[in-house]
Every structure is written in structure tokens, then in C-alpha cells.
Structure 1
Amino acid sequence: MTDTDPLLAVLAGVVVDLVRSLDECDDDVVDPDYAVKLLESASWTLTRLPRDQRDRLLRVLSDLAEAEPSPQRREFLASFPVAAGLAEQPST
């Protein structure tokens, strides 16, 4: 089910891109300890969403990943829910 509010998709994409930038930047650009604090804060905030809002965010992230033409960004979008603590690792 695609979310009809484009604002949520834009904001979710921005959060994911900011997290990805912090995760991938060189240590001389952003202090690694500071980057970890920011990433943990973002994760903590997202995991505090009420269940219905978290489920909505997960659907939007899934929709963004499916529509993403860049394989690297698509992979990051798909892995973001588990990395951020929003979802559990799928069983293999």
C-alpha cells in the first residue's frame, strides 16, 4: 500500500540520506564519536514512534526502496529499518 502523503516519503528519504551520509563519511569530515551519537539519537527517536506510525514509516521506506533506481541507495533503504532498530532481521 502506497502512502498518499508525499511529505512522509520526502521526510523519510531525507532522514535516510542524512544517516547514510553520516555512516559513510570519512573520519576527518565528522568525528566518529559524534556521528555515532547522532545515529543512535536518530534511531532512538524513530523507535519511540507509536506502533501505527512506525508501521506507516516502514511501508514508506519499503515503497522508496522498491522505486529507487540506484542499487546502492535501494540497498541502504532496504536495510535501514533493521539497522535503525525499527524492524527485526528477517530469518534466513
Structure 2
Amino acid sequence: MAAELSQALGRKIIFQDVPIDEYVSSLKDMGLPEYTIQYIGGAMIDYQNGHMSGADKNIEEITGQRVMTVSEFAQAHADTLNPDDY
């Protein structure tokens, strides 16, 4: 995903594998509500264990439109995803 974003945005995106407990701690430091922290922490565990891998066709079946790839999304929203000073 980092490679796709790098290419789409024209700048280097670096993947950093942060331990979940460290990530959750940073969310607490930012003042996020506990229920949000708990949800995101659980989702990160699911990602780590491959439960979120793959794709289904639910969005396409509901909307009739193909889901964008990471690259397509980044290109479509590059003005928002790239900082002004880049």
C-alpha cells in the first residue's frame, strides 16, 4: 500500500510497523475517546491476523460502481492527501 501511495502521490510514503500497544497508547495521548481507542485497537489486531484481507463485492452490488483501488483513491484525492508545503 505504501508503494501504491508513493507512486500515486509522487512522494515517498514509508510503512512503519508500530506495535499495537504503542499505537493505542499514542491514541490515548491524542485524547481520543476510550470506545474509539478500543475499536481501533481491535481492528488493528484483526488486520494483523489477516481478518481484513481480501475484498468482497458488497459496495459494487449496492452502488453498481466498482470500488477504487488505493492508487485510484490517492490520485483522485491527491490535493487533500499531499500537504501544501510538499
Is the pair's TM-score, using the shorter chain for normalization, greater than 0.5?
A: no
TM bin, normalised by shorter chain, reads 0.3 to 0.5
Question: Looking at both structures, which has the greater relative contact order when contacts are Cα pairs under 8 Å and sequence separation is at least 6?
Answer: 2
Normalising by the residue count of structure 1, what TM-score does the alignment of the two structures yield? Answer: 0.30
